[in-house]
Structure 1
Amino acid sequence: MTTQPAPHAHPFDHRMAVFGADDEFVAAALPFLTEGLGAPGEPPPVAIAAPDKLDLLRDALGADVKEVGLLPHTEWYTGSAANAVAQGAGYLAAHAGPGGRIHLLMEPEWDGRAGRSTRETTEWLRYEALANLLFAPLATTVLCAYDTRTAGTAIVEAARRAHPDSGVYEDPVRLTAELDAVPLPSPPPDVERLDEPYTEAVRSRAAGRGLSRVDAELFTEAVTAAAAALGPVTGALLWGEAPACVVELHAPRRVDDPLAGFVPPPVPDLEPDQGLWFSRQVCAYVDVRDDAHGATVRLQYG
């Protein structure tokens, strides 16, 4: 088990605890929650973890348990990494103290979506890295709990690179650039080239590939929002069968922003350049790749 205080280079205090036994989890979590209980100007700390770990905390906290929020992680991590960003931003806006002050213990649901594939692990590492930029202005203190019994060694070692207290922390922009340096798989032989107007083409072709009317409409809205954010789109491809339909957009302008689509908009009504936020909330995956010719954005629904 390893855990240590994070450096205070900016208000956001992003820590990591690694453990492989129940008593090690309690040994890391209890001091953190106690720290939150004693922090002036903060609301009660919250633990978001597996139900069995919440039971451990109830026993360990004793009378203090009524002062700590306990939330099963299945109620927090309900979708993609981009959904987790939205969940976190919304929670802080509604419940944190001034400047985002609150202590959050957070355990990803590694038995669920977050750990089910290498693809998902990559997306989670991206989320952990970008959190250092997205939440940097906030005085939020987070302890990310990594159980080697469920997360596994490879995931833990990768996650260390996204936590400032790990000793192997890497700049988030450099780390996400490394993730994006991996080439996207080539489209399959049955790929379709879409003609303009792309909105109508996506709606009809996605439905033809098995998406329900509602899902086809939502996917079309996500593609349309991404196209608006990119500016002029010079080409579009579609492939796959429901639920994993894919559209790839090509644009002559680079995106050049690792946070594109991850920054929560300040108001509900999105501006055109915020379209990737909506796309990331709707789609299972949104991949952005820049090159000398512009940008490629690949959206997968389901």
Structure 2
Amino acid sequence: MTVPAAPGSSPFDHRMAVFGSDDEFLAQALPFLAEGLAARHEPPPVVIAAPGNLDLLRDALGPAAGDIGLLPHTEWYTGSAANAIAQGAGYLAAHAGPGGRIHLLMEPVWGGRAGRSPRETAEWIRYEALANLLFAPQATTALCAYDTRVAGATIVAAAQRAHPDCAVYEDPLRIAAELDAVPLPAPPGSAERVPGPAPAAGAVRTWATVQGLAPAEADVFATAVTEAAAALGPVDRALLWADGPACVCELRPVRRVEDPLAGFVPPDPAAGQDRGLWFARQVCAYVDVRDEPGGTSVRLQYG
């Protein structure tokens, strides 16, 4: 696929607001919403934020709050960073104006999944960075709100590098490469090699059930593995192992994965595109695509 135009040459307007008090939140949110209400050819702006911040806006706006969509962020950010990308793409397709025009004020749930571990935080920073490429064709105006009382200085500093309106903004692919430079743990010696040029769904399903996954979950994991393998082409090696309650599969495709956005772009069935890595990213906790000296490794962790 062709990587979308870089920020600065695309219509996507990706901003960041940093606040440490209720007054600071309102001082940045209210002008943004006024801008959205005044924008031509746009539906009313939407706020996806913590319930307390939604209450602040209702009080500040009074009757005008009825003109603005207000959604608790726990109802939007319900899974992984890849899920958030799918949610955003689906929402723009269904509700935005021509060309994706809409003003969205978006506050990640840093007190929940996104901030619960360094690994989760890294994936959400990747999401913020790659959003500049994934949504580049859209004329959407997004203001990402970061509450320093929840997110903390380290997360805020990392997120600033992912927003073009910040002085420390970095190229999204550079940020992704930095995140990928952190090595993954090596597969354990007990990892089970799956025979064949591609892992068979039945074999993966049986293995996952033995590890303790419920039949329905084992079926989802097997589907993610087999569809990812099919999208990658011939697989030189496939390994399975358990990591605590999680099931992990590492695929070594014969060819390298050159697309930095592989699995992040929704497939177009009308164009004959299959789900492949997209499905894997939607159902797995993590999908790591690493370019290594011996080739590419694709690691799927379910659970």
How far apart are residue 174 of structure 1 and its match? 1.4
Q: What is the rounded CA distance, in whole Å, between the counterparts of 1:231 and 1:163 in structure 2?
A: 35
How far apart are residue 142 of structure 1 and its match? 0.2
How far apart are residue 243 of structure 1 and its match? 3.9
Q: Contact 1:198–1:236 (CA<8 Å) still a contact in 2?
A: no
Count of residue pairs brought into register by the alignment: 295
How far apart are residue 271 of structure 1 and its match? 2.6
Q: What is the rounded CA distance, in whole Å, between the counterparts of 2:270 and 2:52 in structure 1?
A: 37
Letter in 2 for 1:191: A
Q: 1:11 to 1:257 in 2, by over 3 A?
A: same
Q: What is the rounded CA distance, in whole Å, between the counterparts of 2:76 and 2:93 in structure 1?
A: 15
Match of 2:262 among 260, 263, 271: 260
Q: What is the rounded CA distance, in whole Å, between the counterparts of 1:261 and 1:117 in structure 2?
A: 23
Q: What is the rounded CA distance, in whole Å, between the counterparts of 1:216 and 1:242 in structure 2?
A: 15
How far apart are residue 263 of structure 1 and its match? 0.6
The equivalent of 2:133 in structure 1 is 133
Alignment of 1:168-179 (within 5 A): 168-179=168-179
Alignment of 1:74-93 (within 5 A): 74-93=74-93
Q: What is the rounded CA distance, in whole Å, between the counterparts of 2:243 and 2:162 in structure 1?
A: 34
- Structure 1's unaligned 5+ residue stretches are 1-6
Letter in 2 for 1:300: Q
Partner of 2:154: helix, strand, or coil? helix
Residue 14 of structure 2 is aligned to residue 14 of structure 1: yes
Q: Contact 1:234–1:252 (CA<8 Å) still a contact in 2?
A: yes
The equivalent of 2:24 in structure 1 is 24
The equivalent of 2:279 in structure 1 is 278
Stretch of structure 1 that moved more, 99-108 or 248-257:
248-257
Percent identity between the two aligned chains: 71
- Structure 2's unaligned 5+ residue stretches are 1-6
The equivalent of 2:236 in structure 1 is 234
Letter in 1 for 2:104: L
Alignment of 1:41-120 (within 5 A): 41-120=41-120
The equivalent of 2:4 in structure 1 is none
How far apart are residue 246 of structure 1 and its match? 0.5
What TM-score comes out, normalization by structure 2 length? Answer: 0.94
The equivalent of 1:215 in structure 2 is 217
Residue 142 of structure 2 is aligned to residue 142 of structure 1: yes
How far apart are residue 198 of structure 1 and its match? 3.2
Q: What is the rounded CA distance, in whole Å, between the counterparts of 1:219 and 1:295 in structure 2?
A: 21
Q: Contact 1:211–1:242 (CA<8 Å) still a contact in 2?
A: no
Letter in 1 for 2:247: C
Q: What is the rounded CA distance, in whole Å, between the counterparts of 2:149 and 2:270 in structure 1?
A: 40
The equivalent of 1:154 in structure 2 is 154
Letter in 2 for 1:278: F
What TM-score comes out, normalization by structure 1 length? Answer: 0.94
Q: What is the rounded CA distance, in whole Å, between the counterparts of 1:137 and 1:218 in structure 2?
A: 32
How far apart are residue 295 of structure 1 and its match? 1.2
Q: 1:284 to 1:270 in 2, by over 3 A?
A: farther
How far apart are residue 195 of structure 1 and its match? 2.0
Stretch of structure 1 that moved more, 129-138 or 177-186:
177-186
Q: What is the rounded CA distance, in whole Å, between the counterparts of 1:62 and 1:267 in structure 2?
A: 44
Q: What is the rounded CA distance, in whole Å, between the counterparts of 1:211 and 1:112 in structure 2?
A: 24
Q: What is the rounded CA distance, in whole Å, between the counterparts of 2:30 and 2:71 in structure 1?
A: 16
The equivalent of 1:294 in structure 2 is 295
Partner of 2:252: helix, strand, or coil? strand
How far apart are residue 242 of structure 1 and its match? 6.6
Partner of 2:159: helix, strand, or coil? helix
Partner of 1:16: helix, strand, or coil? strand
After superposition, the C-alpha distances for 1:275-301 in whole angstroms (9 at most, x for unaligned) are 000110111100001123321000000
How far apart are residue 229 of structure 1 and its match? 1.1
Partner of 1:260: helix, strand, or coil? coil
Q: What is the rounded CA distance, in whole Å, between the counterparts of 1:292 and 1:112 in structure 2?
A: 36
How far apart are residue 177 of structure 1 and its match? 1.2
Q: What is the rounded CA distance, in whole Å, between the counterparts of 2:243 and 2:205 in structure 1?
A: 14
How far apart are residue 241 of structure 1 and its match? 5.3
How far apart are residue 270 of structure 1 and its match? 6.4
Q: What is the rounded CA distance, in whole Å, between the counterparts of 2:55 and 2:64 in structure 1?
A: 14
Q: Contact 1:245–1:300 (CA<8 Å) still a contact in 2?
A: yes
Partner of 2:220: helix, strand, or coil? helix
Letter in 1 for 2:287: V
Q: What is the rounded CA distance, in whole Å, between the counterparts of 1:294 and 1:270 in structure 2?
A: 27
